[in-house]
Amino acid sequence: MKRAFYKPRLVTGVIFSLLFFCPPAIYAFEDVPIIPRCKSLELHEGFYPLQQQIRISITGGTSSEDQLKANAERFAVFLRKGAGLKVAVGGEGKAGESEVKLRMAPDMFESKVAGAYRLSVDQEGIHIIGADAQGVFYGLQSLKQMLPAAIFHQDDAVHRNAFSDLRIGFVKIEDAPRFKWRGFMLDSCRHIQTIDKIKQYIDLMALYKMNVFHWHLTEDEAWRAEIKKYPKLTSIGGYPGDRSKEEEFNGYYTQEQMREIVAYAHERYIKVVPEFDIPGHVNALLMAYPEYGCNDGAPLKMGEPGMRSFSSAAGRRAICAGKHETTIPFIMEVFDELQTIFTDGLFHVGGDERPHGNWEKCTHCVALRDKLKLEDEHHLQNWFLNEVSERLRKRGIRSIAWAEHIQGGVPEGQIVQAWNKPSEALQGIRAGREVINSYNRKIYLDYPANNANAEELNKHNRRYRSRLVSAKSIYAFEPVPGSLTLEERARVIGVEAPVWTEDIRMDRLDRKVFPRLISVAEVAWTDEKRKNWESFQHRFAKHAQIIEALYIAYDRSDFIIEAK
Ligand code: ACM
């Protein structure tokens, strides 16, 4: 990953850290800058010094001990690299060492959502108790956030001397997530990102206790997932740009790379949900394998190399429902391979924006619609997605789809992702399905954050001028529609913020995603009654330092404008 473009403000980081670590008399309630805001937090008089020698102990003897150990080892690396401390994991404590004690105790917690924890700091040391290993991991994320921001820089040589007098105020935290789905979606098709960049975002998601990475891997513009049985998906579909140039339109992820991302995410308690978008958004697929397209009288144009020509210029197309005897087996063979890589039992099947006009004109689709006595193409889409979802369900996989095909009814067990209209969440709930709320005008990170930046209002974004999505407006987003019964409310399983990358190359991605993803994290984790924008702004001051130390070139204008 290229890092030269951005230099963290180390000096301000260190100064802020020193301020934060002044004696506890200066603490006010909100001075413990944890994001997302905890369920409850008490400050007590006194502080615990972190010696140069630290021991992380693990108690429990449960089957999750290996996971706690892995959590401990990762935290040890963070302290060693960032603060130059000597950290041992396990073993007997010795005089002069500071102690971080990790434990799992499921019986102590009532939260039904995974990830609850307690964190206390007293004269005996730092104690983290998790309802599960994920809870212990989240306790460690909160602890990391209580340390000086400059430690996140992870450059052992630079900071060693800055952290000779670390101490943490006595504190008692109880915490648990509001929602079980705390997601971020990255479109790797319109522009592709490096594996390092994706890992960096996964690290940030974990720091902010987010737990679902939705990876948008197939599109009109490009197909990014290597499928060995269908090599042209990537050899043709992965290269919409000029092959003679290094372009962020070109490339794909090998199966090995995708496995690497999944393993990296799993170590951080993040599920990875790949999206194979059907029946629309398939131009790249059809460029590679035109036989799966419709017989609608419109020849598929290959377009010119370098023109990103798989996109709308070639006319948007759909995979053929009428030829289901070949298209569905093909789709399932693609899933055969994806299933060996993405092991969380969740697959996104798209379902959004099927172009109108293909199925309506295709002799195969019209014949099938009539044979099945379906009212219209919406119902045909529902039938098609149902066939695929049912096959996935039989394999033990749950499907997720963008909500607009709701018009034809929602396949059994499918999770509905609301995105286009406020009514979609309600429709999904009323259809008895679980719902993820990604309402675009509230949470799409590709929409401009404010009017301050002329670059945001270029020709591509002009139509979104009135659709400003700022850190503050995201913060105010309430994902559960009003006037619902308790049972209905419980069907909203969370939120997810997508970033669509039509106009976003990697050099602009950070400033589109941050700081807004941090707002999303608090919406996803913190109980509605505990949310407070002023408190968030106050805590964010510390997090600006943290994300700078992590080389994230975030959008300052968004936050500063909203902070007024
Ligand atoms: C979408 O934004 N097309 C889901």
Residue 257: per-residue pLDDT: 98
Residue 467: per-residue pLDDT: 80
Please, what is the Cα angle at 181 between 180 and 184, to 5 degrees? 150
Say how far apart CA 545 and CA 550 lie, in whole Å: 9
Tokens of 106: 């499921």
* Under 8 Å between Cβ of 339 and 391: no
C-alpha 336 to ligand 1 mean position (Å): 25
Residue 461: per-residue pLDDT: 56
pLDDT in tens, 445-502: 999 888 766 555 555 555 566 688 999 999 999 999 998 999 999 999 999 999 999 8
Write down how long the chain is: 564
* Under 8 Å between Cβ of 357 and 296: yes
Indicate the DSSP class of residue 30: G
SS3 assignment for 62-118: CCCHHHHHHHHHHHHHHHHHHHCCEEEECCCCCCCCEEEEEEECHHHCCCCCCCCEE
State the amino acid at position 379 in one-letter form: H
Residue 521: per-residue pLDDT: 98
C-alpha 410 to ligand 1 mean position (Å): 17
Strand order of the β-sheet with 53-59 is: 40-50, 166-175, 117-122, 125-130, 98-104, 53-59, 86-89
C-alpha 419 to ligand 1 mean position (Å): 7
Q: Is 444 a pocket residue for ligand 1 (Cβ < 6 Å)? A: no
C-alpha 16 to ligand 1 mean position (Å): 40
Residue 11: per-residue pLDDT: 40
Q: Is 344 a pocket residue for ligand 1 (Cβ < 6 Å)? A: no
Inter-CA distances, 341 with 200, 203, 253, 284, 296, Å: 20, 20, 12, 21, 35
Inter-CA distances, 524 with 155, 176, 384, 416, 465, Å: 31, 11, 32, 17, 26
Angle between helices 533-549 and 516-525 (to 10 degrees): 130
Inter-CA distances, 219 with 203, 299, 392, Å: 26, 19, 21
* Under 8 Å between Cβ of 438 and 419: yes
Phi (first) and psi of residue 7, to 5 degrees: -115, 125
Say how far apart CA 473 and CA 497 lie, in whole Å: 13
Residue 478: per-residue pLDDT: 97
Residue nearest to atom 3 of ligand 1 (CA): 352
Q: Is 208 a pocket residue for ligand 1 (Cβ < 6 Å)? A: no
Residue 196: per-residue pLDDT: 97
Question: Which atom of ligand 1 is least distant from the CA of 498?
Answer: 2
Residue 564: per-residue pLDDT: 45
Q: Is 502 a pocket residue for ligand 1 (Cβ < 6 Å)? A: no
Residue nearest to atom 1 of ligand 1 (CA): 352
Residue 22: per-residue pLDDT: 39
**Cα-only R_g, the chain:** 25
- Give the three-state DSSP class for 54: strand
Q: Is 122 a pocket residue for ligand 1 (Cβ < 6 Å)? A: no
Residue 556: per-residue pLDDT: 87
Say how far apart CA 63 and CA 23 lie, in whole Å: 40
Indicate the DSSP class of residue 495: E
Question: Which atom of ligand 1 is least distant from the CA of 281?
Answer: 3
Residue 460: per-residue pLDDT: 52
Say how far apart CA 415 and CA 492 lie, in whole Å: 10
- The continuous run of DSSP H or E covering 41 comes out as strand 40-50
Q: Is 439 a pocket residue for ligand 1 (Cβ < 6 Å)? A: no
Q: Is 419 a pocket residue for ligand 1 (Cβ < 6 Å)? A: yes
C-alpha 216 to ligand 1 mean position (Å): 11
List strand residue ranges (DSSP E) for 373-434, in order. 398-402, 415-418
Parts of the chain with a pLDDT under 70? 1-31, 60-63, 156-162, 296-314, 405, 408, 452-466, 559-564
Beta strands at 212-216 and 181-187: parallel, antiparallel or unpaired: parallel
Number of CB atoms found within 10 A of residue 330's CB:
17
